[in-house]
Structure 1
Amino acid sequence: MRFLAAKRILQGLAIVIFAIAMLFGSFHAMTSAHAATMAGTPGDPNIKYIGRWDTHSSTLATSYWPGAYLKTQFTGRTVRIKLGTTASFFASIDNKADTFYSNASGTVNLTPTPLAAGTHTLRVATYSEHDSLQFQGFLFDAGATTSMPTISPKLIEFVGDSITAGATTTRHALSDYAWLVGEQLKVEHTQIAQGGICLSDSTACTSTGIGMNSQFFKMQTIYFPNSPTWDFSRYQANVVVINLGTNDNGHHISDASFQTTYVAFIQKIRTKYPHAVILALRPFKGAKAAATLKTVQAVNAAGDRNVHYIDTTGWITSADTNDGLHPSDAGHVKITAHLAPIVASYLG
């Protein structure tokens, strides 16, 4: 009798174990199937968005500001990107030279020559502040999967005008000092930059009268007057590099007004990035240099010692510009050679 009872217990345990195994197997199959259906979609967790992207929709991710980019890894030999509207962008596969796609739309083949079989890296970046990439997903080979790309835990946020946006250079956002510094230091980077913008809110600078003093805190550029506020919990910058004052000077904003606005701007940035190092650059041609220095001194005196003035005197000359103001490709390389080691010293 005891033998029969023990046998029944063992049979019961076997049935329970089998049921649990079937349950977990079914769960794993469902999870894998779900992951497969997500691969390449805007909601794929293996696609990482760097910069200011609207990702509230599972079927569309939209970038704003120049040089915003996304990164992923994928298997297979081919990849295409689906766009919701026309945009110019760069794509780099396996860390090779970027390919430029001008005014692309619809479904764009990023691998006209198929790749070798295996796992590949992919980065897609916008060309300028005029380009909003409406990303609707990637199309891979049948059975292809995605995996997590390498993402640096460090991020530099660059804030500025057309100079920081790469105006007049050959590749705009990808050939300016902001992009070059980030890439040289192998960290993530953003460019909150807009051609023609002042620090100050003034119609003397832009038709909207909106300056970086206000627009920095928005998701979108000044081309979107009803832009929602940016959610700063999406990422935290380790270093913020500000290069503003050239347009304020050109539009005769007084030094006193500029300084008052700049102090308030930095203090508001501090509320969004409590631990970031903030570097205020002397604009490369010296516009508002004295007011910028006084701004940093005022912020330091108020108790924030994590803000620093960077004297850029002599970094470039007029010969390093395309028009006497905007640095050439070579000029941005010179700026990068000076700025990268300074930023690196603050990144830790």
Structure 2
Amino acid sequence: MGLFRFMLLTFVALTSATILQNGQIRPTNYPDTAIAAISASELGWRAYSPDARELSYKGRWDHQYISWWSAPGLKFGFQAQQIAISFGNYTSDGVLLAYRIDGQDWQLTNVTANSTHLFITPETTGYNLTQPANATQTFELRVTNWAYGVQIQCVHAYGPEARLVHIPNYTRTIELIGDSLSAGQYATLEGISSYSWGLLYGLGNAEFSITAYPGICLHDSRCYGNLHGQTYQWLKIPDTSGRALEIYGDGPGIPSWDFAAHPAADITIINIGTNDNNTANNITASEYHDSYIQLINEIHARWPASQIIVISLWGGFGQVGNTWVQGGGFVDTIQDVVRYFNNGSLNERGGQGFVHYFNTTGILEHNDIGPLYHPTDVGHVKLASHLMQYIRLTFGWLLEQSGPEVQHETLYWNDEADY
């Protein structure tokens, strides 16, 4: 074996399970939660099938309990000493999950297909913390990646009279439709580092779904390996990933999302068009305009009361003289779409129409964009914060999240004054 090939294989082996942070390897010594399979007859354990009413699925999952899109999750209450989950064969190998009890900080662990993982024991941080004995606590997990997913096979509860408890859904719901910028591509922890996550989880007391996937266009066209655009794919359960093609193919077998079986979104946020605007995909402004109108009509037909926020494309930054200037994409076209639904009004704040225009100009600066043209973690936080205030001011939503960690591993500070 040549030296170059040896070095290449060594690099691949090293990076296949790493997170690169500004080009340096971030420590990922996450706990190994894998345990031996739990048999149905094992003493002390109670098994819940994936269709148990106690389980609440967040985001889009199919009838086989396979997760799709960005940051899908599972949530339930429990009264038990231990909680374990068995994952089916459609679970991606090594997919990174975030999980926690109640409002404790997120914990991270890698899971794989046909495995069982122990998430909660009496030693878990937050277990029965300031709670009376046998009180119901909440368990939640989220898939961090946008291309990988899990399949829930069984949830196990251990202990005397161990049981799971259904946690009612929040009364308000938000949907976010987008591409890689919204899915969290190149953010440190991807889906749970994205502005979408920071905004939707950060608002608090709201159910949400992030139907975003890298490289996808708005117009129904092949874009960067995606066979369809969001005018088609948003109506389906799965995303446009390779595993979706493997399971469902590209044809009539792709299951549609049952909108009637799920709460309507009170607010729908759309941030898409960067891929349409790339000359590599050869989509005209007219096609983009008509597809945007088509998507909004599809949304309004299913959720007539949903307020829609259209986000302007911020593009990248180019150096002009001795400073940096933000680029854009389809600026006039997007504004024309908003006016189409609002009797000629741009409707940037409130107004008579149901389509609202959110102008991103000035929120991000050139050092908020990483080397691969996507926001840094700081850029994502800035965008989420501005959108949060926009929703508060425009729709009167109170910001009800007050304490629990939203974006994990962002706690940085300086205690050194002498430098």
Q: Normalised by the size of structure 2, how large is the TM-score?
A: 0.69
The alignment partner of 1:189 has SS state of strand
1:277 matched to 2:281: no
99-108 vs 62-71, which deviates more?
A: 99-108
Q: C-alpha deviations, 1:81-139, integer Å up to 9, x for none? A: 11013333211112211122234340011136353463321111111221222011221
Return the match for 2:268 from 240, 252, 255: 240
The alignment partner of 2:198 has SS state of helix
* Structure-2 change in CA distance of 1:318 and 1:227 (3 Å): farther
Deviation at 1:269, TM superposition (A): 1.3
Whole-angstrom CA distance in 2 between matches of 1:288 and 1:346:
26
Whole-angstrom CA distance in 1 between matches of 2:341 and 2:214:
27
Deviation at 1:153, TM superposition (A): 0.8
* Structure-2 change in CA distance of 1:316 and 1:302 (3 Å): closer
Aligned positions of 1:119-134 closer than 5 A? 119-134=136-151
Aligned positions of 1:241-320 closer than 5 A? 241-250=269-278, 251-285=281-315, 286-301=328-343, 305-320=353-368
Paired residue for 1:336?
A: 384
Deviation at 1:188, TM superposition (A): 1.5
Q: C-alpha deviations, 1:3-30, integer Å up to 9, x for none? A: xxxxxxxxxxxxxxxxxxxxxxxxxxxx
1:346 matched to 2:395: yes
* Structure-2 change in CA distance of 1:140 and 1:167 (3 Å): same
1:44 matched to 2:52: yes
Unmatched segments (≥5 aa) in structure 1: 1-35
* Code of the aligned partner of 2:118: N
Is 2:157–2:164's contact at 8 Å kept on the other side of the alignment? no
Deviation at 1:148, TM superposition (A): 2.5
Q: Normalised by the size of structure 1, how large is the TM-score?
A: 0.82
The alignment partner of 2:183 has SS state of coil
Whole-angstrom CA distance in 2 between matches of 1:244 and 1:125:
24
* Structure-2 change in CA distance of 1:314 and 1:168 (3 Å): same
Aligned positions of 1:90-239 closer than 5 A? 90-105=98-113, 106-111=115-120, 113-114=123-124, 115-116=127-128, 118=134, 119-142=136-159, 143-186=161-204, 187-203=206-222, 205-223=223-241, 224=244, 225=250, 226-233=253-260, 234-239=262-267
* Code of the aligned partner of 1:160: G
* Code of the aligned partner of 2:209: T
Q: Which has the higher Rg, Structure 1 or Structure 2?
A: 1
Whole-angstrom CA distance in 2 between matches of 1:302 and 1:62:
43
Is 2:46–2:163's contact at 8 Å kept on the other side of the alignment? no
The alignment partner of 2:182 has SS state of coil
Deviation at 1:292, TM superposition (A): 0.9
145-154 vs 331-340, which deviates more?
A: 145-154
224-233 vs 334-343, which deviates more?
A: 224-233
The alignment partner of 1:249 has SS state of coil
The number of equivalent residue pairs is 308
The alignment partner of 2:342 has SS state of helix
Whole-angstrom CA distance in 1 between matches of 2:151 and 2:289:
38
Whole-angstrom CA distance in 2 between matches of 1:91 and 1:297:
42
Whole-angstrom CA distance in 1 between matches of 2:292 and 2:215:
17
* Code of the aligned partner of 1:131: Y
Whole-angstrom CA distance in 2 between matches of 1:289 and 1:324:
22
Whole-angstrom CA distance in 2 between matches of 1:325 and 1:275:
35
Whole-angstrom CA distance in 2 between matches of 1:260 and 1:296:
12
Q: Could you say which structure has the higher helix fraction?
A: 1
The alignment partner of 1:51 has SS state of strand
Aligned positions of 1:69-84 closer than 5 A? 69-84=73-88
Percent identity among equivalent residues?
Answer: 28
